[in-house]
Structure 1
């Protein structure tokens, strides 16, 4: 079930301390209900998913799911503003959407968007890959797709230079949003008891894919 964040100045201060956020506001706004996201790739093609897991694949909130679409192309699931998060090894992409939601795209190669760019749903972001600009690990080209909420507002959530280890622990603990129960592009994702497991259910016909596994991304 989607969590709504209605928190006070104490939490704002805590987030500032944990995440190194600049100028977090004194009052925190309510985050809107989960938006109508499409899948982060073109529908109608075969896709492999390694399953639902936490950002670091071992502990914490399971706010991530890996996708490997057949055309290797990652696309925006909803309109929003791109933020390139910079590290010594290169950049990775986040998109801020209306209502206080942020989606993330790690491991991408050939990034085709720029910092501050507004994109519409379906815009090409880059290609699946094994890039590790801020650290971490990757096996097989894919996009590590993540969900976060930003109760302190996007201006307070600049993650430039933060290692993947920090994003996957402190940041995920503060603002990571579980994939479990979310409907994305007509598919409801349900986390399993273990990391890198779960199911994807196509709501139009109740077809269930066990994760990790392959499925055709029907609308």
Structure 2
């Protein structure tokens, strides 16, 4: 689903062009069907989630989910191409998947992948952390996992883009809601408020209220 409005497109284009990057094209294409994604860590372990929220935790599309697996290791949920996004404070990871889908991984430390690398589901990306390469805030080591659609803009480069811009103008254009999406056999449903929601294990219909802990079984 593409949610790019004319005014938002202008804002994003201005933000990106101001950094010398490619302009955002018109919203002509549609992303493919939602891919079969695993959770971004090894199954079978205890996980804490702070809940579903918008990319800035305040307003806008709720395209983000904070996750803290017990082993502190973040893994690719599906095959794709890594695109490291560079800022003055370091890097964060995006993976482009088939069908115009991108997943994002913010706050990671000890990044183990390189720009342009092809990864498979389960490959190690790095460790949960509190890194703020482009700004923002973090309390407690975790990965800020995000969903995006980029059917018109494969391999989009958001390097140098401040988190305040990424989490607002870019999120308006490309952010995809976590609500109603299934990751690793768990259906995530957003709550009315930020940092709330539920995770339902589809195999046995067990429901976990978010924020909360659950065991990420298959």
TM-score w.r.t. length of structure 1: 0.92
Consecutive unaligned residues of structure 1, counting only runs of 5 or more, are none
Cα distance in 2 for partners of 1:91, 1:18 equals: 19
Correspondences of 1:33-72 after superposition (within 5 Å):
33-72=33-72
Which stretch has the larger CA shift, 23-32 or 59-68? Answer: 23-32
Q: Is the 8 A contact 2:3 2:173 kept in 1?
A: no
Q: CA 1:119/1:192 → structure 2, altered by over 3 Å: closer, same or farther?
A: same
Partner of 2:122: 122
Partner of 2:77: 77
Q: CA 1:69/1:24 → structure 2, altered by over 3 Å: closer, same or farther?
A: same
The offset of 1:123, in angstroms, is 0.4
CA offset digits 1:142-193 (Å, max 9, x no partner): 00000000032224x2100001111000110111000000001000000000
Aligned Cα root-mean-square deviation (Å): 2.0
Partner of 2:105: 105
SS at match of 1:154: coil
Cα distance in 2 for partners of 1:72, 1:6 equals: 33
Q: CA 1:24/1:163 → structure 2, altered by over 3 Å: closer, same or farther?
A: closer
The offset of 1:22, in angstroms, is 1.2
CA offset digits 1:173-214 (Å, max 9, x no partner): 111000000001000000000000000000000000000000
Q: Is the 8 A contact 1:198 1:211 kept in 2?
A: yes
Partner of 1:171: 170
The offset of 1:12, in angstroms, is 11
Q: Is the 8 A contact 2:103 2:148 kept in 1?
A: yes
The offset of 1:19, in angstroms, is 3.8
Q: Is the 8 A contact 2:185 2:202 kept in 1?
A: yes
Q: CA 1:172/1:98 → structure 2, altered by over 3 Å: closer, same or farther?
A: same
Cα distance in 1 for partners of 2:29, 2:186 equals: 29
Partner of 1:144: 144
Cα distance in 2 for partners of 1:32, 1:194 equals: 29
Aligned length: 214
Which stretch has the larger CA shift, 191-200 or 21-30? Answer: 21-30
Cα distance in 2 for partners of 1:138, 1:122 equals: 25
Consecutive unaligned residues of structure 2, counting only runs of 5 or more, are none
CA offset digits 1:32-89 (Å, max 9, x no partner): 0110000000000000000000000011000000000000000000000000000000
Partner of 1:133: 133
SS at match of 2:48: strand
The offset of 1:111, in angstroms, is 0.1
- After TM superposition, which residue ranges in structure 1, 4 or more long, deviate above 4 angstroms? 10-13, 23-27
TM-score w.r.t. length of structure 2: 0.92
